[in-house]
Every structure is written in structure tokens, then in C-alpha cells.
A and B are shown apart, each in its own frame.
Chain A
């Protein structure tokens, strides 16, 4: 990917800093977050790659990857980050960038009826909190 002055979305970088409160520019790309991520089998970009794209203001790539939507907010990366960066907060900021445009990742009325009957309440509450606008 070619990164030039024109491809860096500075407004997006500022927005992500504001919503997450996380100094992602301090990430040194050690990759610890990616090694410990329990969802790594299913994500397109690793957390380390997400951090790199954030540093370079690559909004389009980040809006089109499944990683923030697969992140389970487990904080396994956060407790191990040597730079003290709360990566799940950045994943939340990325999700909100889309959810705040009134887009849903999960459609509550399309959930399988059997699952509605069986799954515990907190599964739905947390899923809707993370994946609906």
C-alpha cells in the first residue's frame, strides 16, 4: 500500500484519539496483541496491523476490515501491551465510527428463533451494545 500525504486522513486520526483516549501513536509494533488475540483465526487484520493503519490514518482500510467486529473486547491484549495501550478501546472507536451512522452489524429481528430461546440474556444485551446502532 502506498502511503502519501494525500492518503493520510488526519481528521480520522484525531477522531480516533478523541473517542478512544488512547495514544496509539506510541505503539512500537511489537505484535504482542496479535499473538495473544483469541479471535486471530477469524480476523482479517491482526491488532498490530490495525494499530499500524491507525497510525497512518488509513480510514478506508479500517472501515472495511472485519477485525473490530470480531474483537470480543476480552482485554487479553490490553493487559499485555508493553506501551500500556488499551487496544479494545480503539476497536470500540472503530466500531462506533460505523454504528454512529445508524448502521447495524447484527439485526435483532433476524436472530435464529432457537438461539433466542436458548442463549442467555446477557449474550443479546452485549451483542446489541457492541453491534447495533
Chain B
């Protein structure tokens, strides 16, 4: 099976730990990805203004590249890319007036009518592979590891492009159980991490992140899994600053969900690129005896 793949800017550098672990895990599950030969930044956020078409050009161009390459489905790994491209795709399917304006403006490009399906990796693994098959492929079940899901916002909101329930999603729970880890429920798995406010209003972002870390720790999580490089930065690599804001917080390792999947599938430690995670991440896996058997 071949699957179109849109990486997005962060995946090739600062979130290489997400890309490599994800692509190698899919290979282990029998799926090969075909990266877009040419792609550009999706814009990271979808324009929320009705009179702003110019910011739709970037994601639409990516969709046109996918169509030109003969792909009928494009998978993204980054949650924000998923959100932006899926919403642009929906607009191109449903809003005839805006679609015509965009197609006219991009006159040198192929006309686009929303022919390509946009999916997120987690959705693809769930719907096209299935948790049973994932569980059957696990060689190294992550016993004794208590994992909390962190969905963030862009995978499940707004409702028009959600890959799971907007208020009570379950996909990460199913994944955690499929890879043999223990699922930890906590109330802030969908609470926003502050997103891009980490640049303009860092304190506001770190405050909400502190709530997430505290809530997961209170319920006994050893680690969190997530799928967005911006959430990973705010909750993971900025966690020393988060802990400085609230007393009593311990380091809570944060992984991309594909990293734990790769370990469970018995892939080589090199696929994890753990040097891009917060330092406590590798230590937790060593302390639990998980890396030694990988």
C-alpha cells in the first residue's frame, strides 16, 4: 500500500523524532509512504476571517501538488498541518465561490476541487490498519509504563475536520492499550497548551501548560504522548520553565506517540531520535527497562 505524505517544515529538522519514528513504524506495519515531490509550508494556522483568501493559497498549493502527483490520499503527521490542510480542502470542496476565486488566482496551476483526501497518521493507523493489527505486531509491549494521552486542539477541533470526538476522544487510549502500556485518564488531555502564544505571550502559554502537567501527574502518569511539534515544545522541552511556575511539579517526559509505537514494534533505538526530546524522556525508558530490550 502506498500513501501520500506531506511532512511540513518542522518534521525535517526540529521534529525529526516524529518523522523518522512515524515513517519507520508504518513500514513495520506494511505501509510505504510516498512523500510529495514538492511541498511548501501550509501556513500552520487556518485563516479564520471570511474575507481572507490569500492565506489559503499555501495549503491549496500543497493539495494541488498531491493531485498532480496522482495521489488520492495525503497523510500528515503534525496536528497543525493536518488542521490547516484539511480545512482548506473542505473549503475547496464546499465553497464554490471561494474555490473559483482561488483557482482563478492560481491560473498556472491545475484546478483543484477537493479531490484529495487529507488524513492524519493517527486516523490512518486506526481506520486503515486497525488497533488489532497494531497489537498483533507489537514485539516489545510497554508493560509498567503509565501513559497519558495529550490530544491538544487541532486534531479534534473544529468539528468539521475532527478525527475523533471533540470533547471525549479515544484514539490515543486505544493506541496506548494496543502497545501494551497502561492508559492514564486525566481531565486536561484536551486542554490547549497555549500554542503560538509561547512566542508572543510565553507566560500565558506556560500557565496553561502547568495545569496540564499537574493534572497528568496527579493521576499517576509516567509520560504523555502527543502528535504536535508545538505542543511538544510547550509541554516537553519548555517544561523546566513550566515547573518554575508551579510548586510540586516533577519532570513528566513527553513523547511523540510514534516514538512509543516504534519501541513497541521493536524498532531500533536510532529511529527514535531521543536527543530531540526533553532529557528525562530517555532516562524514563532506561529506568523502566524498556530501551534495553528494544
Check A121 against B13 for contact (C-beta < 8 Å).
yes
Check B15 against A120 for contact (C-beta < 8 Å).
yes
Q: Which residue of chain B has the shortest Cβ distance to A75 in the bound complex?
A: B157
Task: Tell yes or no: B293 within 8 A of A by CB.
Answer: no
How many angstroms from the CA of A91 to the CA of B48 in the assembled complex?
Answer: 9
Task: Tell yes or no: B105 within 8 A of A by CB.
Answer: no
Tell me whether A125 and B41 are in contact in the complex, defined as CB-CB below 8 angstroms, given that A42-B207, A75-B153, A79-B166 are known contacts. yes
Q: Identify which of residues 92-133 in chain A touch chain B, using a CB-to-CB cut-off of 8 Å.
A: 92-93, 96, 105-106, 111, 115, 118-127, 129-131
Task: Tell yes or no: B14 within 8 A of A by CB.
Answer: yes
Q: Which residue of chain A has the shortest Cβ distance to B194 in the bound complex?
A: A72
Check B153 against A105 for contact (C-beta < 8 Å).
no
Which residues of A lie under 8 Å from residue B15 when comparing CB positions?
120
- Select A130's contact among B9, B81, B196, B204, beta carbons within 8 Å: B196
Interface centre among B51, B80, B158, B201 (most CB of A within 10 A): B201
Tell me whether A42 and B167 are in contact in the complex, defined as CB-CB below 8 angstroms, given that A125-B44, A126-B230 are known contacts. no
Check A119 against B198 for contact (C-beta < 8 Å).
yes
Tell me whether A74 and B230 are in contact in the complex, defined as CB-CB below 8 angstroms, given that A19-B50, A121-B13, A127-B200 are known contacts. no
B interface residues, tally (CB under 8 Å): 48
Which residues of A lie under 8 Å from residue B159 when comparing CB positions?
79
- Select A72's contact among B78, B203, B205, beta carbons within 8 Å: B205
**A113 shortest CB reach to chain B, Å:** 13
1/0 per residue, CB under 8 A from A, across B10-32: the answer is 10011100000000000000000
Tell me whether A120 and B158 are in contact in the complex, defined as CB-CB below 8 angstroms, given that A21-B50, A105-B200 are known contacts. no
Check B201 against A69 for contact (C-beta < 8 Å).
yes
- Select A70's contact among B8, B197, B229, beta carbons within 8 Å: B197
Check B195 against A41 for contact (C-beta < 8 Å).
no
Which residues of A lie under 8 Å from residue B157 when comparing CB positions?
74-76, 78-79
**A6 shortest CB reach to chain B, Å:** 28
- Select A41's contact among B167, B190, B204, beta carbons within 8 Å: B204
- Select A69's contact among B78, B192, B200, B233, beta carbons within 8 Å: B200
Which residues of A lie under 8 Å from residue B237 when comparing CB positions?
118
How many angstroms from the CA of A118 to the CA of B230 in the assembled complex?
Answer: 11
- Select B199's contact among A76, A78, A111, beta carbons within 8 Å: A111
Task: Tell yes or no: B266 within 8 A of A by CB.
Answer: no
Task: Tell yes or no: A30 within 8 A of B by CB.
Answer: no
Task: Tell yes or no: A9 within 8 A of B by CB.
Answer: no
Which residues of B lie under 8 Å from residue A21 when comparing CB positions?
50
- Select A126's contact among B45, B50, B203, B204, beta carbons within 8 Å: B45
**A87 shortest CB reach to chain B, Å:** 10
Task: Tell yes or no: B292 within 8 A of A by CB.
Answer: no
24 A-B pairs with C-beta separation under 8 A: A38-B208, A39-B197, A42-B204, A72-B153, A74-B157, A78-B157, A78-B158, A79-B159, A86-B48, A92-B47, A93-B49, A119-B199, A119-B233, A120-B230, A122-B81, A122-B230, A123-B233, A125-B41, A125-B44, A126-B195, A127-B199, A129-B44, A130-B196, A131-B196
